[in-house]
């Protein structure tokens, strides 16, 4: 479904403004686990098909930011430029545990083979699961036979990343409003309740 209409799936008064932790735990991990994302508003986009200014209407627009799932193996070369890393990866933590990695990239116009591209103000935060482990619950122990059955699907699903793209000149970078100790928002509580529901459902099956 198109990104332009996805934000309309949120109840009135709700805005999509997730923290790094929420993007990894509530969205990326569920996508990689082949579980439905609730609400299902983040579309899948082939990042190498579009320049960042073309994401409007294709990715989920939230203010001056655009969100989408993509495959980690997709090339970062677009029709008119390329994404390149600009700093060291950051660790994303949840409950005191490291759960993901955040890569920061900048978009440059031109060919990546050229000695110098023209750097733009477009920034992308690309989130990865930390080490390919995607399970919602860590309480189960797999047998050798079940591990073999799950090996191929797990490998495929772990290729997912979730991306946040914004123009740094428009104030689109994520504000530091998700500090530790801050009370959970209504949307946080909805996501947590859905995670609990899925864990109960899985344990009963």
d(C-alpha 39, C-alpha 53), whole Å: 25
| Model pLDDT, residue 156 | 52
| Model pLDDT, residue 37 | 80
pLDDT tens per residue, range 64-84: 999 999 998 778 999 999 999
CB-based contacts of 98: which residues, under 8 Å, 6+ apart? 91, 92, 130
Is pLDDT at 60 greater than 70 in this prediction? Answer: yes
pLDDT tens per residue, range 81-100: 999 999 999 999 999 999 99
Q: What mean pLDDT is predicted for residues 194-198?
A: 51
With 0-12 / 13-18 / 19 or more C-beta atoms within 10 angstroms meaning exposed / middle / buried, residue 113 is exposed
Which domains, ranges and CATH numbers included, belong to the chain? Answer: 1-134+156-169 (2.170.150.80)
d(C-alpha 163, C-alpha 9), whole Å: 20
Number of Cα atoms under 13 Å in the Cβ half of residue 65: 19
pLDDT tens per residue, range 152-169: 444 554 689 999 999 999
| Model pLDDT, residue 183 | 42
Phi and psi (nearest 5°) for 164? Answer: -120, 125
Run of H or E including 156: helix 144-157
pLDDT band at 117 (very low <50, low <70, confident <90, very high): confident
pLDDT tens per residue, range 36-51: 887 789 999 999 999 9
Q: What mean pLDDT is predicted for residues 193-203?
A: 50
Is pLDDT at 204 greater than 70 in this prediction? Answer: no
Q: Looking at the whole model, is its pTM more than 0.75?
A: no
pLDDT band at 116 (very low <50, low <70, confident <90, very high): confident
pLDDT tens per residue, range 2-30: 444 565 666 777 778 999 999 999 999 99
């Amino acid at each position: 479904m198109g990104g332009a209409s996805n934000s309309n799936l949120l109840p009135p008064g709700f805005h999509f403004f997730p923290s790094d932790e929420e993007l990894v735990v509530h969205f990326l991990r569920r996508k990689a686990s082949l579980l439905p994302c609730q609400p299902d508003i983040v579309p899948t986009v082939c990042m190498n098909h579009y320049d960042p200014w073309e994401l409007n209407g294709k990715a989920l627009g939230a203010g001056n930011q655009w969100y989408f799932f993509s495959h980690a193996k997709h090339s970062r070369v677009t029709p008119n430029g390329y994404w390149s890393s600009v700093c060291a990866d950051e660790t994303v933590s949840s409950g005191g545990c490291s759960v993901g990695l955040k890569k920061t990239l900048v978009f440059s116009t031109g060919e990546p083979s050229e000695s110098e591209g023209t750097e733009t103000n477009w920034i992308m935060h690309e989130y990865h699961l930390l080490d390919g482990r995607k399970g919602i619950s860590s309480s189960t122990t797999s047998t050798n036979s079940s591990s073999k059955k799950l090996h191929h699907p797990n490998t495929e699903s772990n290729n997912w990343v979730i991306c946040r793209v914004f123009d740094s000149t428009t104030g689109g970078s994520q504000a530091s409003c998700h500090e530790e100790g801050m009370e959970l928002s209504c949307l946080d509580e909805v996501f947590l309740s859905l995670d609990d529901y899925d864990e109960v459902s899985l344990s009963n099956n």
